[in-house]
Amino acid sequence: MANNGKRRRTVWAASGNLPSFNRSITEQPQPGDTMPPTESEIINRELSKVSDEDLLACSKEELVSRLRKEESEKISALIQRGRLIKEVNKQLQGHLLEIRELKVINQRLQEENTELRDLCCFLDDDRLKVKKLAREWQLFGHHAAKVMREDLGGYLKKLADLERMQDGLVKENMDLKELCLVLEEECVSRSDSSPGGSTELNLPCMVARDLGDGSSSTGSVGSPDQLHLVCSPDD
């Protein structure tokens, strides 16, 4: 402030117009002069917007009060700025702490993501193995079903052949039974016609009857030996 006062006195001395601080405010302006601003208007305006002529028109007390007011406003502005800076720093510290917590959470989530990715790869490998095994079992099932169908067809064919053979054997057995009955009737009729040889003829008939029912194991009915034995009395 002392340097500013020295510069002002130097400017005033160079211009040759020293300010008169005892000038009366009630002086009438000369014709053609503009109305100078009042001291209250100068005080209410900022110093940066006040011209040098208006400042020269003010008294020392007014300038000092204006400077003190400006200084107090600047100090209050600096204090307010400091408070804002502290608040911003506090918020910044809170944001930094939140960022650290988010980084920790992000790291944990990345680790879990890696574990889940490895688990998915493992499960996908198992899925492929199971799919391959299922395909192999499916092929094996198709092959086994084909073989079983072929075997079943062969078994059904053999069964049909056996049924035909059984039918033929049943028919042949019926024919043999009829033949045995005819031979037995002939033996009975011959025994009745020849009384003397009834005892001799009864034995072959009983043998033929025994062989005809299938219970004897001496031979099969209809064999040449048995037929010869049955018919031997006539020969």
pTM: 0.35
Are 190 and 233 in contact by the 8 Å Cβ rule? The answer is yes
Position 57 pLDDT exceeds 90 = no
Average pLDDT over residues 123-143: 94
| Lowest-confidence segment of 10-24, 54-68, 139-153, 194-208 by average pLDDT | 10-24
Residue 18 backbone class (left: φ over 0; alpha: ψ -120 to 50; beta: rest) = beta
Residue-wise pLDDT tens digits, 2-16: 444 444 444 444 444
Which of 30, 31, 49, 29 has its CA nearest to residue 41? 49
Q: Which of 182, 186, 162, 172 is nearest to 214 (CA)?
A: 172
The pLDDT, as a whole number, for residue 226 is 47
Supply the pLDDT for residue 67.
Answer: 79
Q: Which two tokens stand for residue 177?
A: 């039974």
User: Which among 55, 48, 41 has a CA at the least distance from the CA of 12?
Assistant: 55
Average model confidence (pLDDT) for the chain?
Answer: 73
Dihedral in degrees, nearest 10, Cα atoms 104, 110, 114, 120: 120
> How does pLDDT run across 170-221, given as a tens digit for each residue?
999 999 999 999 999 888 888 877 655 444 444 444 444 444 444 444 444 4
Residue 187 contacts residue 227 (beta carbons within 8 Å): no
For residue 108 the two structure tokens come to 């944990």
pLDDT higher for 31 or 55? 55
What is the predicted pLDDT for the residue at 135?
94
Q: How far is residue 112's CA from residue 120's CA, in Å, rounded to a whole number?
A: 12
Task: With a cut of 70, say whether residue 154 has pLDDT above it.
Answer: yes
